[in-house]
Amino acid sequence: MSLLKQWRDKAYDESANKGDLQRLWADYFEKEKNIYAELLKTPDEEVKGTVRELADKYGIELMTMVGFLDGINDSLKTPNPIDDMEEDTVVSLGFDKELLFKNMVAAGADWLYGLPEWNDIFDEETQKRLYHEQKASGTVKKAKKIYPNDPCPCGSGKKYKKCHGKNGKNRFEE
């Protein structure tokens, strides 16, 4: 079975124990956020390596890296062959900055498009423009499942339902 299928079967398993899935996603979101924060510090540097090497580089499990590669693929300059990649497949994290920002908006992940590292890449006006362009395009990416009682992926330490899971305006809304 391919790595991607193994990851998706595990992460999107409707019949899995709810607590196990919650822990998996809480863990994933934290690591995902850290990797993006790292990547955004040097946005013009292409990070490349085998799936295993990148997992080691960021100190995460192989399957978490597979999930990350699944999530970032639509934002890359050249998508990776995620469907049949193996541990030793060379992959690239060379992302398109505008596309990545917009995809984070489309996924409703304000803890990602709100990362402070973006401020060194795009000024406030540009972030606003990209945000509104994405909202106006009507393209919605299926957000990953977060349960109300999960810790919020933004890292506030609050429950998701009390933090970013609350319906409210964010900083780009007038």
Q: Please pick, from the candidates 3, 66, 72, 154, the single residue that binds Zn ion as defined by CB under 5 A.
A: 154
- SS3 label, residue 76: strand
Reading phi first (left if > 0) and then psi (alpha if -120 to 50, else beta), residue 107 is in alpha
Q: What is the closest distance, in whole angstroms, from the C-beta atom of residue 57 to Zn ion in the complex?
A: 27
- Quote the least distance from Cβ 49 to Zn ion, whole Å: 31
**Both tokens of residue 154?**
């933004």
Taking CB under 5 A as the criterion, the residue among 156, 166, 170, 171 binding Zn ion is: 156
Residue from 106, 130, 146, 152 that binds Zn ion (CB under 5 A)?
152
Least distance from Zn ion to the Cβ atom of residue 41, Å: 22
DSSP codes of every residue in 84-118: G--TT-EEE--B-HHHHHHHHHHTT-HHHHT-GGG
146 binds Zn ion (CB under 5 A): no
Tell me: does residue 31 bind Zn ion (CB under 5 A): no
Q: What are residue 158's phi and psi, to 5 degrees?
A: -85, 165
Size of the site for Zn ion (CB under 5 A): 5
Query: Binders of Zn ion among 42-101, rule CB under 5 A?
Result: none
Nearer to Zn ion, 149 or 156 (CB): 156
**Segment lying near Zn ion (by CB under 5 A), choices 28-36, 70-78, 99-107, 164-172:** 164-172
Question: 57 Cβ partners below 8 Å, 6+ apart?
Answer: 47, 49
Helix (DSSP H) and strand (DSSP E) numbers for the chain: 7, 2
**Which residues of the chain form contacts with Zn ion (CB under 5 A)?**
152, 154, 156, 163-164
